[in-house]
Structure 1
Amino acid sequence: MDLNQLRIFSVIAQERTLARASSVLCLSQPAVSAQLKALEESLKIKLFDRTSRGMQITAAGQVMLEETGRVLAAADNVSALARKFVTQGLSGEFRLGTIFEPRMLRLATLISMLSEKYPHVQVSFSQGISGDVITRIAEREINAGYVIGEPTDERLRFIKIAPIVLRVVAPYSWRDRIADASWHDIVQLPWLSTPGKCSFRSIAARMFARHNVLPRTVIEADQESILSDLVTQGIGLTLLREDVAIAGEAEGKITIWSPGMELDNLYFVYLDACKDSDLMRAIVPLIRRIWSLDAA
């Protein structure tokens, strides 16, 4: 049994004679008859009774005709989707929420791959903190986003992208002051925190709880660049990504407090309800390719 035989069966049922069906299909009548016979043998049921008035569909044939309609419609949809990709490619807007600078998230690579593979897809980025990115995905304001920390919202799907290391940093002028500091000592100094929806906030809370201490928070900021600048200006300590911390220490702007290190992961997040959309079916393989992840 194949789609061609099912199409012939459908046309015979519609035209009710082999002669008219042959004309519609642009095939010889023996060829149509042979295909119908092969289909009946394959299904092991009789689809038509041959009468003097033409082809009379059987009760079993009527049931098969309804199912055949669904099969052919699905096949036509697949063909139409393939033609769309071939003739014009995927189109629309892909809205991505970000939390770091473009280099860290390999956004230039994503744009390059999208423009080459799907030139009709427009890309827009909006930066925020992890909690806000998740909220905007859930409310369908954006299609997907990068966040730190595994999402707990059951409406979301996520891909673990890469590990993230955070370090406790202080103003460079404090390096001798904190060199031998204990956790009890370190939390007595001024701390810079982030809003409640920021992943850095929850990671820091987890770190302090593990050491049974509470920090003395003096300022709250929602961007890593602001936190870094405030530390450089001598305001207090905070958590920064390890790559930012190492670069800042090399420039003599900040110092890393060795005991303070936390591990988490970067995730690519999108709505489970949208996983089968044309857009996400195109984007997800690109994300996996960009980050050299195994397909799943």
Structure 2
Amino acid sequence: MDWDKLRIFHAVADAGSLTHAGDTLLLSQSAVSRQIRALEESLGVTLFHRHARGLILTEQGELLFEATKSMRKRLESATARIRDSSDTIYGELRVTTTTGFGTMWLAPRLKRLYERYPNLKIDLILEERVLDLPMREADVAVRMKEPSQADLIRRRLMDVVIKFYASRNYIEAFGEPRTVEDLATHRIISQSPTSRQVSAGQTWMAPFLSAEHASHLTVNNYFGILQAVVNDLGIGSLPNYLITDFPQLVNVLPEEMSKAIPVYIAYPVELRQSKRVAAFRDFLIEEITLFKRQNETLLAIPEEALSRFS
């Protein structure tokens, strides 16, 4: 099978348009069309349905597109390994983590990584969905649970818990709750029960969400909760890795917390020799080790919170 025709087919299937694929490949629309026709003739099948809104893959086209996507990911992996054979650390590294951890803890510390490796290009993918690392949707993941996918190297970095926080201004204006019952007179800010989140946090918050409160705000990620809390809107449920970067926050009802949530770094086995992955992994371990050392008392988690993980 002609590799060049497969490359053109993949571009067309990905773009859904001969014109857009031609722009990407620096080929004319007619040249792209000729290559697609030639590939269809060689296979004896129709790969696309022509539609007024563009091209739609046939069943046979879907099968071929899945194959070319897999081939492309393997080529990208091979290219990464070849580039990593040099001593210089450079090129793109795709890192995925949650919106909360990525925006509130990781991103503020990346300056030190770039100072060490100025030619590194990081694509930081922030979302709650678990990306498929073996299929190279990302190179490295920092996850709030142990990865279940096979063929991954994983390392547990630390444990975090979700606790209640309020700004000093809010406490001065509305007082600090001393009991769980006191929360009924305060505005509670938390993740929405329907949002994608770790089960430990969701389970812990469930009784508070079902209780009667004068006012409530739910947000679909922790960054939104943080913004509401630092702007004196109420008492929010937030991860305790915020304790040093946001000193204006006060942990109210300090005995109340979720079960411990383990934080893992994971990456595909095939990238175990990647210098870029190793550089990011070592940087992350250094930062977390320093963070834990500086906040040993504040990060201490009671034994009962460590007894089960989400």
TM superposition score normalised by structure 2: 0.47
